[in-house]
Amino acid sequence: MQGLSEEECWDHRVHVFFQQKAWADSNLCGRYSKEVLAPSMAVLPVAQGRKVGCDNLKGQRDWHGDFQLFNKKHAGADTICTPDQLTHLTAPVDAGFGALLKAKIESMQSAFIERSGEQH
């Protein structure tokens, strides 16, 4: 699309956050919960056992007002973090089984976005 900025070409249903650091800090985790997670969960039927999976970043463990309590209260979800100090053990999973799992999740999310786009 000529004349549009890159950002103007992005799908409006995809949320993009920028920050100076490579790892998500407390502010970014809090913004994500407030702006994306809670509103997204609010439109879904309430379900028992909702889970939010996290990498156990410091920002996910202790964001202002507590990331985990916010998710429980506003998204109705338990936050499950990978164990602390285990990156050296979990990194191989990201390249093996984790990569397959992430690819499957990505295809499911893409299909959901396509289906929801057809409804509008």
pLDDT attached to residue 23: 76
In a domain, 120, yes or no: no
**103 falls within a domain:** no
Does residue 102 lie in a domain region? no
Q: Is 70 domain-assigned?
A: yes
pLDDT value of residue 113: 78
Please tell me the distance from the alpha carbon of residue 41 to that of residue 117, in angstroms, as a whole number.
18
- Domain assignment present for residue 98? The answer is no
pLDDT of residue 16: 83
> Is 77 a member of any domain?
yes
Q: Give the residue numbers spanning the domain of 14.
A: 6-84
Per-residue pLDDT tens for 69-103?
A: 777 887 788 877 777 777 667 666 667 777 788 88
CA atoms of 4 and 12, how far apart (whole Å):
14
- Mean pLDDT to the nearest integer, 58-65: 63
Q: What is the pLDDT of residues 12-43, one digit of tens each?
A: 778 888 888 777 788 888 888 888 888 887 77
Q: Per-residue b/e over 47-70, b at no fewer than 16 CB within 10 Å?
A: eeeeebebebbebbbebeeebbeb
- Concatenate the DSSP letters of all residues of 3-47 into one string: T--HHHHS-TTS-----SSSS--HHHHHHHIIIIIHHHHHTSPP-
Is 96 inside a domain boundary?
no
Q: How many domains does the chain have?
A: 1
Strands 78-81 and 51-54: parallel
104: in domain: no
Q: How far apart are CA 65 and CA 47, in angstroms?
A: 24
Note the pLDDT of residue 64: 47
